[in-house]
């Protein structure tokens, strides 16, 4: 994709970021979908439910593209922070979100302008900022076209909070991935420690509960399963088992 393909002045996937084709497209484009429109598997769920890991693995297995929509909210929050804006100024943050100079490299690195912000956007402060700006309708609207620009053949696996309800309501398969708050805090803790970012379990659990409550209670695109979503509780499942369940649901589609 070239810069001119990307709506809203954003970056989108870079040229050459095609997903690997090996094992691609296990099935034809599902009946009822325009053959020119790539199928979408939408994976929504609360913070640290493992959506990102599962979605990436499913995308790699199918040879599809992958959208981490939370990264876009994190990028907008980081952009707002760097511009010295408050998170509670919807119009100003929406302007930042609409013109994010973001680029996703094929190797997974994310740049904002000239800066590699791959690690910076994972900081908890940025995640909390993302959750705060995500309550604003104008900010969500500003990111809509950019998110939809990731939908390309042979297919897209998208993870977030409103993939199945708002961004891709016609997704061919919708999952709502949950896990207990304690196991999610534990997973997030391990993830941060692996990245060399220090964090305490109790503060992570508290942050996670605050973020869950904010995401679920906001008036715009709240975190709720789509009516036609399969709810999958991964508390006692390994990553491999969860991926296998998602792939089985995809294969079992009528």
> Which residues of this protein are in contact with ligand CDP, per CB under 6 A?
47-48, 69-70, 73-74, 127, 130-131, 134, 160-162, 211, 215
Q: Kindly state the smallest distance separating residue 130's Cβ from ligand CDP, in Å.
A: 4
Mode of pairing for the β-strands spanning 102-104 and 173-178: unpaired
Q: Kindly state the smallest distance separating residue 127's Cβ from ligand CDP, in Å.
A: 5
Q: Which is closer to ligand CDP, CB of 3 or CB of 206?
A: 206
Residue whose beta carbon is closest to ligand CDP = 70
* Phi, psi (rounded to 5 degrees) for 15: -55, 140
Q: Which is closer to ligand CDP, CB of 98 or CB of 134?
A: 134
Q: Which is closer to ligand CDP, CB of 25 or CB of 192?
A: 192
Handedness of CA 2, 163, 166, 180 (dihedral sign): negative
Based on its alpha-carbon atoms, the radius of gyration of the chain, rounded to whole angstroms, reads 17
Q: Kindly state the smallest distance separating residue 231's Cβ from ligand CDP, in Å.
A: 17
Check residue 221 and give left, alpha or beta (phi > 0: left; psi -120 to 50: alpha). Answer: left
Q: How far apart are CA 91 and CA 68, in angstroms?
A: 24
Contact indicator for 183, 235 with CB cutoff of 8 Å? yes
Q: Kindly state the smallest distance separating residue 47's Cβ from ligand CDP, in Å.
A: 3
Q: Kindly state the smallest distance separating residue 240's Cβ from ligand CDP, in Å.
A: 20
CA angle 69, 180, 235 (to 5 degrees): 90
Q: Which is closer to ligand CDP, CB of 57 or CB of 211?
A: 211
């Amino acid at each position: 994709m070239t810069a001119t393909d990307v709506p809203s002045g954003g970056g989108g996937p870079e040229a050459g970021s095609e997903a690997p084709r090996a094992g691609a497209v296990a099935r034809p484009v599902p009946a009822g979908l325009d053959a020119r429109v790539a199928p979408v598997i939408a994976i929504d769920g609360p913070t640290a439910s493992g959506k990102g890991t599962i979605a990436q693995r499913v995308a790699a297995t199918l040879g599809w593209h992958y959208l981490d929509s939370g990264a876009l909210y994190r990028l907008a929050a980081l952009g707002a922070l760097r511009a010295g804006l408050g998170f509670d100024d919807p119009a100003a943050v929406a302007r930042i979100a609409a013109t994010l100079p973001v680029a996703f490299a094929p190797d997974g690195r994310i740049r904002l302008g000239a800066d590699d912000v791959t690690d910076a956007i994972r900081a908890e402060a940025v995640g909390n900022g993302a959750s705060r700006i995500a309550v604003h309708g104008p900010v969500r609207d500003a990111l809509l076209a950019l998110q939809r620009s990731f939908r390309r053949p042979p297919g897209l696996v998208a993870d977030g909070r409103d993939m199945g309800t708002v961004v891709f309501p016609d997704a061919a398969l919708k999952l709502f991935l949950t896990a207990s708050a304690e196991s999610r805090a534990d997973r997030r803790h391990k993830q941060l420690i692996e990245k060399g970012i220090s964090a305490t379990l109790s503060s992570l659990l508290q942050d996670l509960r605050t973020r869950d409550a904010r995401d679920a209670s906001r008036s715009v695109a709240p975190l709720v399963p789509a009516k036609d979503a399969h709810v999958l509780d991964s508390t006692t499942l390994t990553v491999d088992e969860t991926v296998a369940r998602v792939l089985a649901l995809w294969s079992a589609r009528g």
